[in-house]
Each structure stands twice: as structure tokens, then as C-alpha cells.
Amino acid sequence: MLVETTSANRSDAVVLRSTLLDAAGFAHAFSTRLGGVSAAPFDSLNLQSVQANARIADGEPRDHDDAIRENHARFALAAGLARDERVADVSQVHGCSVVASADALRARPAADAITSMRGGGAILIRVADCVPILIACPKSGAVAAVHAGWRGVVAGIAPAAIAALHAAGADIRSCIAAVGPCIRAANFEIGPEVADALAAADLAECVVAPGVHGPKHHADLVAAVALQLARCGVARANIDADPPCTYADARRFHSYRRDGACSGRLAAIIAPRA
């Protein structure tokens, strides 16, 4: 279960935390759009990267870098980390590459999942409708943060993250996985090519037929990643996969499908356990 909390440690950021990850002692959070300093249309907790913000073309909506930095500091505090915590992130490309946190800190490579082992630093991924997944191994203390859009789901980014954790000594059966706010099936209309791609990836059961939510196919990416995690050996009881819908809740969440270029970014963050 994801529980909404407001930090008591000098942060106004409103975040969601997984009861499973909390019980296992992992510092983590999924962001909302509440409690930041960004002005409209990015109000208010916009967690875009300053690198991506700099690439926005002139004339397009752009946030202020200082606001983005303050938002990230507030988010770190809300997750139980230091305000100035050094956090590894990546340039997300809807692919299937997994990198270690140390490599991400050195070069900020193109990837869609990051791992961090005991003694390593916090890791963060960003979404604005795609599926954020935080994975933790209570036995080894290792963690992973995963960004999974439909392309990443089809490519197998969640199983790739599990494989990377396993290679680093994690006990997959004991791993905990929490799925954060993302677009849910009722609002995720897809074309036949996406439906076919999901079916080809052995995820046909996660395609919703026309007539259920509307005249076209829809995709249940939450069900898809939960199924992939279970197939990798994560116990069903250890998968927290009933997040709120970003598209349906404009007050609490950014959504690119709903707001286009005026959308801010949400984030998910986790740190390995000592």
C-alpha cells in the first residue's frame, strides 16, 4: 500500500511511501506535485532534471533551474535523506539498460534503471505517466529504481533490473517491489501496434480489449510489470502494485498525456540499506 505523507523534517513536499519498503527499513519516496516552489504550469513540485530543462526549445514552457534544485532538496528530505544528498540519476531513453549508481554519478549515461548496493548512494528515476518501480532486497540491502514506459515494459526493463540485482548477490525471492503513481489502464488508450507489441512480449493479458474503457485498446502497465516481477521470482505478497493514476488526478500528479509540454515531472527515489 502507498501512503501519502508530509515530511516533518523541514520539507513541505507531499510524497507517497510504500508500507512494504517502510517496514523493511528503506529510505524512499514517490513524489506528488504538491509542496514545491515551481510556478504554473509546473506547480509546484516539479522534479525535472536541470539537464532536460536546459534542452527545452525557446518559446516552450520551461521551469527555473533554481526552483528545480529546491524541489529536489525538499524531495530528498521527504524521503528521509539529507537535503544535499548526492543522488544518481540517468538520461532515460525508454530502453533496457541498467547501470550501477557509481557509473551513473560519473557520467549520467542513457539508461532506464539504476542499482545501488549496500554502502552506495541514493538513486532516482523520473516519470510523467510511465511506471516507476522501486525494488529492494532486505537481505543484501541492495536497491533498484526503474523507469518503465510501454516500450521499456516490452523490452523487459524490470526483469533486467532484477537480473542486475541477482548478479550483485540479491535474494530475489525476498525482494520487495513497489509500483508508484502512473497512468492506469482506464486512461491509457493505445493503438493496435502497441497491443501487438505487448502480446509479442507475452503480456497479452495486460491488454484491455476495445469496449471496456472506450472504443480502442487500453494497456494495464501496472499489471504488466507486476507479472514480469512475479515471473522473475519476486513473491506476489512482496509486490505493492495498486498506485493512483497520474492522468486522473491533476491536483496531485503531473501527467504528460494530459498536459503535454506543460507537464512537470514526478520522481521515485530509494537508498540502499546499511
Q: Is residue 13 part of a domain?
A: yes
Sorting pLDDT into bands at 50, 70 and 90, what band is 29? very high
Q: Is residue 10 part of a domain?
A: yes
Phi, psi of 96 (to 5 degrees): -135, 30
Q: Is residue 158 part of a domain?
A: no
Per-residue model confidence as pLDDT tens digits over 230-272:
999 999 999 999 999 999 999 999 999 999 999 999 999 999 9
Query: What is the three-class DSSP state of 162?
Result: helix
Q: Is residue 162 part of a domain?
A: no
Sorting pLDDT into bands at 50, 70 and 90, what band is 6? confident
> Residue range 21-41: average pLDDT?
98
How far CA 247 is from CA of 41, 128, 190, 257, 261, in Å, comes to: 15, 9, 14, 7, 14
Number of separate domains in the chain: 1
Q: State the DSSP string of 94-132.
A: SS--EEEHHHHHHH--B-SEEEE-TT--EEEEEESSSEE
How many angstroms separate the CA atoms of 28 and 271, rounded?
Answer: 6
Per-residue model confidence as pLDDT tens digits over 169-216:
999 999 999 999 999 999 999 999 999 999 999 999 999 999 999 999
Domain that holds residue 108: 2-149+246-270
Residue 57 has pLDDT above 60, yes or no: yes
pLDDT for 124 equals 98
Give the mean pLDDT of the chain.
96
How many angstroms separate the CA atoms of 95 and 109, rounded?
Answer: 12
| Among the listed residues 71, 111, 108, 118, the one whose alpha carbon sits nearest the alpha carbon of residue 95 | 111
pTM of the model: 0.97
Q: State the DSSP string of 47-85.
A: ---HHHHHTSPTTS----HHHHHHHHHHHHHHTTS-TT-
Q: Is residue 11 part of a domain?
A: yes
CATH number of the domain within which 71 lies: 3.60.140.10
Sorting pLDDT into bands at 50, 70 and 90, what band is 217? very high
Sorting pLDDT into bands at 50, 70 and 90, what band is 10? low
Q: Residue 223: in which H helix or E strand, if any?
A: helix 221-231
Which residues, other chains included, contact 81 with Cβ-Cβ below 8 Å and sequence gap of 6+?
27, 87, 122, 269, 271
How many CB atoms are located within 10 Å of the residue 230 CB? Answer: 15
> Residue range 1-23: average pLDDT?
88
> Residue range 82-103: average pLDDT?
97
pLDDT for 274 equals 83
* Residues facing residue 134 across a β-bridge: 145, 178
Q: Is residue 220 part of a domain?
A: no
How many angstroms separate the CA atoms of 48 and 133, rounded?
Answer: 18
Residue 7 has pLDDT above 70, yes or no: no
Residue 8 has pLDDT above 80, yes or no: no
Q: Is residue 212 part of a domain?
A: no
> Torsion-angle region of residue 194: left (phi > 0), alpha (psi -120 to 50) or beta?
alpha
pLDDT for 166 equals 98
Q: Is residue 235 part of a domain?
A: no
pLDDT for 65 equals 98
Per-residue model confidence as pLDDT tens digits over 114-126:
999 999 999 999 9
pLDDT for 193 equals 98
Sorting pLDDT into bands at 50, 70 and 90, what band is 17? very high
pLDDT for 40 equals 98
